[in-house]
Amino acid sequence: MFDKRQITDIFWDLDHTIWDYPTNAKLTIFELFSKYGLSEFTSHSPEKFHKSYCKHNDIAWEDYRNGKIDKLTLRKQRFSNTFKELGIEKDEFHDIFENEFVELCPTKSNLMAGSFEMLEFLNETFRQHIITNGFKETQEIKLKSSGITHFFKTITNSEDIGVQKPNTLIFQAALKSASAQAQNSVMIGDNYEADIIGAYNAGLNCIYYNQFEKSTENIPYEIVVINDLRKIGSLFV
Ligand SMILES: [Mg+2]
């Protein structure tokens, strides 16, 4: 556990940590499913379509993070693989769904439970920042749509830096742009590999938002693990 008196800066991950990607994506997908009358072409429900999309999106993001595919391929694959898996033969919809999803989803405003509350609370004492692997053009819209832009002094995006979390270079770039020191900073994120190991290796203090209570057996003892963002409050009082 870090010494809260030494902390000056808080770095947040955005998707799945502050911004409720799953809920916002689900709303978007349900809208597209209905707009394009997919029930005419498949007996699968919008729920099933959404579930399949999430699976293929996660796989594509992991491949993207590991440098196996580029952004364009990610965007081509996640919907085409969803359509393929569900046996919906409407190839002309792949690009339409991707383009409209990317436009519509960031305009949704749902936040993870407790995140707004914690941003407000921490804002009284600390400078707050974002470090994100998400696409540059969409991340700023998400902040604006959900009314949280004003909380952040800096936003560091992997597309600007040229490497993604967990690469330590992105954390160093974020610290530099915030004029902060690693030992006086805390990273809060939901992705153990990308956010936590990355920040840990760059010398930041870490709060791992382990929402789904995955195994924490091999996690270094100095990393704080929480399953509810509202628990952050008690770490700083
Ligand atoms: Mg995340």
SS3 state of residue 213: coil
Assigned superfamily of 21-107: Putative phosphatase; domain 2 (1.10.150.240)
Q: pLDDT (tens digit, 9 = 90+) per residue, 179-223?
A: 999 999 999 999 999 999 999 999 999 999 999 999 999 999 999
Q: Is residue 8 predicted with pLDDT exceeding 90?
A: yes
User: Given this model, what pLDDT does residue 101 score?
Assistant: 96
CA distance 15 to 49: 21
Q: Are 4 and 122 in contact (CB under 8 A)?
A: no
| Rounded distance from Cα 14 to ligand 1 centre (Å) | 6
| Rounded distance from Cα 17 to ligand 1 centre (Å) | 5
Sheet of 205-209, strand order: 152-157, 127-132, 9-12, 185-189, 205-209, 224-226
| CA dist list (Å): 155 to 21, 132, 176 | 18, 8, 12
Q: pLDDT (tens digit, 9 = 90+) per residue, 33-50?
A: 999 999 999 999 999 999
Q: Report the pLDDT averaged over residues 2-15.
A: 97
Q: What is the pTM of this model?
A: 0.93
Q: Which residue has the tokens 């936590």?
A: 196
113: nearest Cα among 19, 221, 204: 19
Q: Which residues contact 154 (CB under 8 A, 6 or more apart)?
A: 129, 130, 174, 177, 178
User: Given this model, what pLDDT does residue 203 score?
Assistant: 98
Q: Is residue 17 predicted with pLDDT exceeding 90?
A: yes
| Rounded distance from Cα 31 to ligand 1 centre (Å) | 24
| Rounded distance from Cα 84 to ligand 1 centre (Å) | 27
Q: Where in the chain is the domain with CATH 1.10.150.240?
A: 21-107
Q: Is residue 55 predicted with pLDDT exceeding 90?
A: yes
Q: pLDDT (tens digit, 9 = 90+) per residue, 125-175?
A: 999 999 999 888 899 999 999 999 999 999 999 999 999 999 999 999 999
Can you name the CATH fold of 4-20+111-235?
Rossmann fold (3.40.50)
SS3 state of residue 111: strand
| Rounded distance from Cα 92 to ligand 1 centre (Å) | 31
Q: Where in the chain is the domain with CATH 3.40.50.1000?
A: 4-20+111-235
Tokens coding 10: 């808080």
| Rounded distance from Cα 117 to ligand 1 centre (Å) | 18
Is residue 71 exposed (0-12), middle (13-18) or buried (19+ Cβ within 10 Å)?
Answer: exposed
Tokens coding 64: 């993207």
Q: pLDDT (tens digit, 9 = 90+) per residue, 58-100?
A: 999 999 989 999 999 999 999 999 999 999 999 999 999 999 9
User: Given this model, what pLDDT does residue 1 score?
Assistant: 86
| Rounded distance from Cα 22 to ligand 1 centre (Å) | 11
| Rounded distance from Cα 23 to ligand 1 centre (Å) | 14
